[in-house]
Amino acid sequence: MNLGETIKKGKRPFVIAGPCSAESEEQVFLVCKEIAENKSAQMLRAGIWKPRTRPGSFEGIGERGLEWIVNAGKYNSLPVTIEVANKNHVDLALKAGVTSLWIGARTTVNPFAVQEIADALTGVDIPVMIKNPVNPDVSLWLGAFERFEKVGVTDLAGIHRGFSVYNHRKYRNVPSWELPIAFKEQRPDLPMICDPSHITGNRDLLYEVSQKAMDLDFDGLMIETHPDPDKAWSDAAQQVTPNQLKKILDTIVLRSSEFSSGVAHDIAKIRTQVSNLDDQLFDLLSERMSFSEQIGQLKRENNITILQQEHWRKVINSRLGKSDEYHLTEKFVRQLMDAIHQESIRHQTAIMNPINKING
């Protein structure tokens, strides 16, 4: 199969479902049968070699799971995919007849491992999906694709599974949507799948993240699905039953990425107004910085420090207090004011110490 074409030309979203880990032949078969029968997914996933954060947790059923997955897929007419992390995994997966492979987030971070897998696939025509690295680095993610393309593996897709953070109050891995968006800017040709299971770590949040991915024009979803999620041997809190998966998918509202010509005209008109406002915003910012330079000049002449802590505290607090009035979040007001303040300090520093050129 050509996965890229199937995803791009088929109905959106292309859904990949199945357990975090293959646990038994019955479990894999049951999930596969149910997602095929309720038509919630177009591909079966299951992990047999699990990259666990700490040793001692379930590290996967290993090689014997290959047969369960391949057979379940054949019987239920679904293509299947597993995670591979080294050459040995690749060789075993190819021998067993697995339809497609994915590279896990902890593998994408390591160019040696990615190269080893790519080399093992030289001359093999098999689709490969590449999860983003656990750290927010778009180049590293793009580089992994290039390693496969260099050895002739060109049927590729990306999987966005969020990025590691310490103790986030909502997500297991923060989505940082700007990264997959930046990726898509560079590689609009590649399908992009979202993995809300690993982003959220929580089945109650799967719907909202899936909906968001669809609104950002992602092509597909990978959602961990288990016959009895609470008893799963890994990632129990984020897995759902095939029935629950179907409900989540049925609730998603799919919006078109193309405008009808009437709407396109209305939107173009408003975009012009937005663009005019952006022009004014930047003119204002530029003018504001020239005042900062005048202040910098006076501070220089009078030997006063650039940062005036007490003044800045008043300025920022007064703006934050008006967030509601502006209909802006406090977080946005804080980020914007910080950025303006940093730029203002840069202009003043250039005046104070002329060696720091304004545009340097």
For ligand PEP, the closer CB: 161 or 184: 161
Residue placing its CB nearer to ligand PEP in the complex, 21 or 244: 21
Q: Is 195 in the site for Mn ion (CB under 5 A)?
A: no
Q: How far is the CB of 191 from ligand PEP (least distance, A)?
A: 17
Is residue 160 close enough to count as binding ligand PEP by CB under 6 A? no
Minimal CB distance residue for ligand PEP: 104
Site string for ligand PEP, 125-144 (x = CB under 6 A): ------x-------------
What x-and-dash track marks residues 46-75 binding ligand PEP by CB under 6 A? -x---x------------------------
Nearer to ligand PEP by Cβ, of 103 and 352: the residue is 103
Work out how close the CB of 235 gets to Mn ion at its nearest, in angstroms, rounded to a whole number. 4
Task: Give dist(CA 53, CA 104) in Å, integer.
Answer: 13
| Residue 262 burial (10 A CB sphere; 0-12, 13-18, 19+) | exposed
Choose one: 70-78, 101-109, 336-344, 352-360; the region binding ligand PEP (CB under 6 A). 101-109
Which of 173, 348 has the CB closer to ligand PEP? 173
- Judged by beta carbon distances under 5 to 8 A according to partner kind, the member of ligand PEP, Mn ion, none in contact with residue 242 is none
Check residue 104 for interaction with ligand PEP (CB under 6 A). yes
* CA dihedral sign, ordered 102, 104, 110, 112: negative
**Residue 111, binding choice from Mn ion, ligand PEP, none, Cβ under 5 to 8 Å by partner class:** none
DSSP structure class, residue 157: E
> Which of 15, 16, 20, 199 lies at the binding interface for Mn ion (CB under 5 A)?
20
Q: Left, alpha or beta for 176 (phi > 0: left; psi -120 to 50: alpha)?
A: left
Torsion sign across C-alpha atoms 239, 245, 251, 254: positive
Instruction: Evaluate whether 101 touches 86 at the Cβ level (below 8 Å).
Output: no
* Residues in 225-264 that interact with Mn ion by CB under 5 A: 235
Give least dist CB 35 to Mn ion, A.
16
Pairing of strands 80-83, 100-103: parallel
CB neighbour list of residue 3: distance below 8 Å, 6 or more residues apart: 79, 100, 127, 129, 155, 157, 191
Partner whose footprint covers residue 226, from ligand PEP, Mn ion, none (CB < 5 to 8 Å by kind): none
Residues that bind Mn ion (rule: CB under 5 A) add up to a total of 2
C-beta separation of 93 from 101 below 8 A:
yes
- Closest by CA to 107, choosing from 81, 143, 156, 79, is 143
161 interacts with ligand PEP by CB under 6 A: yes
Residue 221 CB, nearest approach to ligand PEP (Å):
13
Is 20 one of the binding residues for ligand PEP (CB under 6 A)?
A: yes
Residue environment code for 131-157, b if the CB has 16+ CB neighbours within 10 A, otherwise e: bbbbebebebbbebbebbeebebebbb
What is the distance between the alpha carbons of residues 112 and 51, in angstroms, rounded to a whole number?
A: 16
Nearest to Mn ion of 4, 158 (CB atom): 158
How far the first Cα of the chain sits from its last, in Å, is: 52
DSSP-assigned letter for residue 216: T
Residue ranges binding ligand PEP (CB under 6 A) = 20, 47, 51, 104-106, 131, 161, 198
Residue ranges binding Mn ion (CB under 5 A) = 20, 235
